[in-house]
Structure 1
């Protein structure tokens, strides 16, 4: 039941924050591997991106990829929060003397996050493809036609797992940018070689071509989304648990 409530709570938050995910994805793909000043900036900032997408693609485009995003949130956060809650309920987060262990809590949280991100990776790729789709005048990145589960979906699962694990101790944005680009790069099946050989290669190419600021594209959208999503997820989770335990009695 903890898995179900955790997943539903994350889905509730996702409905409100998915437009920011669309904006973030577009901004991270804008000017990919192009030097600053050499490409047209369709999205100047978070607010301009909202206005541009709504005006050109239509307001419904701000919820692109919502279905796979909900499925991803349900799977990833259901596993992440559910596993952590299960570990807490079983007493694994406490020492033999009964004291709370910060080290065990951190380890359980990181492990649950990596597991959830890895298993949800193929769905995240579909979400990225859908959110990148745009009218030709404001299109950025490679424009995929929707594929349910592209052949390379598990190859970049490690990138998603790295984002989830590294965020505990480091700033997430450069890895988030890289993860988005790895998910959206053309595949060999389309007759084009892959632009990136892996996470490190993507980081190096981005930094070398776009500079340090290129690694922080979409940072505004990322953090505008992160706060509300976290708060809403925990709020819905707490409310669902309260309702469940109230009726269980």
Structure 2
């Protein structure tokens, strides 16, 4: 696995993360809105994606739309450094190709999922902190459990002092499941779409090809991960007792069943539209940036 691929994957993801973090803030708020309450029986400060942007900017300030940016960028760097470099290494070794030399959808999903498992587990503490910081809001628009963290470093100190190292990895199973599905679908669809568009002559320009393939990947990702994303957000944001146990949910399965009992199937699909609005451009940007950075590296290697 080339070290340069590891770094380039992380840098590409951070570039995309800066642009998509405001949508992630909105997504987190909508997923926590009406937690464990029947539909229509709770206050609804966030009524739509656009209205939510206005509400956050009005009550938390413009910078409120970038809450949790530092841990979000750290999370993106770690998870994508692993998953993109693992996938690229597999491509270079021919591990994702079939007997005809074409990219296999199934093999692409396997290597994408493997990278997602490794990356998401290593990056789990950053996702935990990101979620808790993004949920913090002015009293009049607050939803979900409100953690009082001043910054990423403050959150790390508080969690470590209260629950030790394991507290930083609380809920990691949910995030691994979410990231595995997202990574497998994103990378497999990206590779398949790229091959189909190129081989059929639909798109030939490298940058436009990467853009279209990333857009297709993001669209499929948003359909696949919404319930898993809701569960991850709920588990990460819930408060914990003195023993480090969640006050709302005992684990992944309990979270799913509790949401279904309290909020119905609708509860598992909260935040679908912001997930879609984030996933499509995010996948497009991160995979486009990664392809372009790889091209620059190869160009540089040829010159030197």
Structure 1: gaps (5+ residues): none
- 1:169-219 superposed Cα distances (whole Å, 9 cap, x missing partner): 772111110100000011113998521011111111111111111111111
Richer in helix (by share): 2
Match of 1:86 in 2: 89
Asked whether 1:58 is paired with 2:61, we answer yes
Match of 1:154 in 2: 169
Asked whether 1:227 is paired with 2:280, we answer yes
Match of 1:70 in 2: 73
Aligned CA-pair RMSD: 1.9
Q: How does 1:204-219 map to 2 (within 5 A)?
A: 204-219=257-272
Asked whether 1:247 is paired with 2:292, we answer no
Asked whether 1:184 is paired with 2:187, we answer no
- Which secondary structure state, in structure 2, belongs to the residue aligned with residue 172 of structure 1? helix
Give aligned pairs, total.
249
Structure 2: gaps (5+ residues): 150-154, 186-222
Match of 1:41 in 2: 44
Relative to structure 1, is the Cα distance of residues 231 and 40 closer, same or farther in structure 2, using a 3 angstrom cutoff? same
Moved more, 104-113 or 3-12: 104-113
Alpha-carbon shift at residue 42 of structure 1 (Å): 0.5
Partners of 1:91 and 1:193 lie apart in 2 by: 44
- Which secondary structure state, in structure 2, belongs to the residue aligned with residue 202 of structure 1? helix
TM-score, normalization by structure 1: 0.94
- 1:27-63 superposed Cα distances (whole Å, 9 cap, x missing partner): 0011100112221101001111000000011000000
Partners of 1:103 and 1:171 lie apart in 2 by: 16
Relative to structure 1, is the Cα distance of residues 193 and 224 closer, same or farther in structure 2, using a 3 angstrom cutoff? closer
Match of 1:6 in 2: 9
TM-score, normalization by structure 2: 0.77
Contact 2:96 2:108 in 1 (8 A): yes
